[in-house]
Amino acid sequence: MDPTSEPPVESRTTAKRFRSAEEKRQIVEDTLRPGASVTQVARAHGVNRDQVFHWRRLYRQGRLEGSGAAKLLAVRVAGKRVGEAGRGARRGGSAGTMEIELPRATLRITGAVDVATLRAALEFLAA
């Protein structure tokens, strides 16, 4: 039997496709649009959805290859405690506390927490 006459056997494995950092960012950003489905976006780009979830995690951590994306920080806004609200009112100004929990420490700023202070703290942490 002539080996050239047999139909080729198709392989179930496919070669990995290299994705540039820009392609990865674009795919991730497509999934972050309102109403987007990670599975549908992954399918449209021919990528495994688990890979896209991994890229999204890296993107949010600011660790996606050459990511120009802003680093996102988890934020929880806590309501004022009764004691703090009362003390601030007696001083004639608004008092507050800004607390940022880090893996090995907690940054706490008490007193007047204005926009400039908040911006400076967040820019320092994102650097």
Q: Give the tens place of pLDDT for each residue, 55-80.
A: 999 888 888 865 454 555 666 666 65
In 3D space, the residue among 39, 48, 42 whose CA is nearest the CA of residue 14 turns out to be 48
Whether the predicted pLDDT of 13 surpasses 80: no
Domains of the chain: 17-70 (1.10.10), 82-126 (no CATH)
With a pLDDT cut of 90, the percent of the chain lying above it is 24
**CA–centroid distance for 51 within its chain:** 15
Q: Given pLDDT bands bounded at 50, 70 and 90, which one contains residue 87?
A: very low
Higher pLDDT, 6 or 103: 103
What is the pLDDT, as a whole number, of residue 66?
Answer: 59
